[in-house]
Chain A
Amino acid sequence: DVKVTQSSRYLVKRTGEKVFLECVQDMDHENMFWYRQDPGLGLRLIYFSYDVKMKEKGDIPEGYSVSREKKERFSLILESASTNQTSMYLCASSRTGFSPLHFGNGTRLTVT
């Protein structure tokens, strides 16, 4: 079974802090994704990566950056956290472009 592990389940940070959300997958998947989930808005794609050191902007990349130094790890970085980034963050991976996504359990981030 594919496992996607997000390092933190809950996180509380202060405005202006630099925040790192980590995600690791164990199935040698090429593709990795970061979504944020907000009530009434569904899932919105922040960034994705099709290969190591490769990244592409999703629909809402502003205020975020990512890093993929190794195939199994995809990090989401909030350079200077703001209260409007309080949300549930979901990491996912997939084998190929049209393969189903496998999701982690999410990180609920609160920025105060």
Chain B
Amino acid sequence: AQSVTQLDSQVPVFEEAPVELRCNYSSSVSVYLFWYVQYPNQGLQLLLKYLSGSTLVKGINGFEAEFNKSQTSFHLRKPSVHISDTAEYFCAVSGGATNKLIFGTGTLLAVQP
């Protein structure tokens, strides 16, 4: 069975500082990995995805993530955050026979001025 772990429920950071949101997964098959962002009172929207190929994936709003198969991780990074990046971020994994998308519990990124 697949699972996703986001160890940090909340990450406070000052504006213009770098940030890393951690995501680890477990799976016995090849996986596809996603990061979604949820702004207040909205649904989720796709930030970036890893399907195959280069392990460094670039997404919208200056975010990027690196797929590390040996460490089963897919951490999300941004070199300089803005107030507008304040949102909840969800890591998700799919793969195997069912193609179901399994979500982590989310990390609230709180950017302070």
Contact = CB atoms under 8 A, between A and B. Distances in A.
Interface stretch (A14-22, A39-47, A66-74, A79-87): A39-47
Interface of A: 4, 33, 35, 40-45, 48, 58, 90, 92, 97-98, 100-101, 103-106
Contacts of A92: 43-44
Contacts of A44: 103
Given A41-B105, A42-B90, A42-B104, A98 B32 contact: yes
B32 A90 contact: no
Contacts of A105: 41-43
Given A45-B100, A58-B100, A103 B9 contact: no
Nearest to B102: A45
Contacts, number: 48
A48 B99 CA distance: 11
Q: How large is the interface on B (under 10, 10 to 19, 20 to 34, 35 or more residues)?
A: 20 to 34
Interface in B5-60: 6, 9, 32, 34, 36, 41-46, 49, 51
B86 interface: no
B90 A103 contact: no
Nearest to B106: A42
B83 interface: no
23 contacts: A33-B101, A35-B103, A40-B105, A41-B105, A42-B90, A42-B105, A42-B106, A44-B103, A45-B102, A90-B43, A90-B44, A92-B43, A92-B44, A98-B99, A100-B34, A100-B46, A100-B49, A103-B36, A103-B43, A103-B44, A105-B42, A106-B42, A106-B43
B46 A101 contact: yes
Interface in B62-113: 90, 94, 99-106
A103 B103 contact: no
B100 A101 contact: no
B51 A98 contact: yes
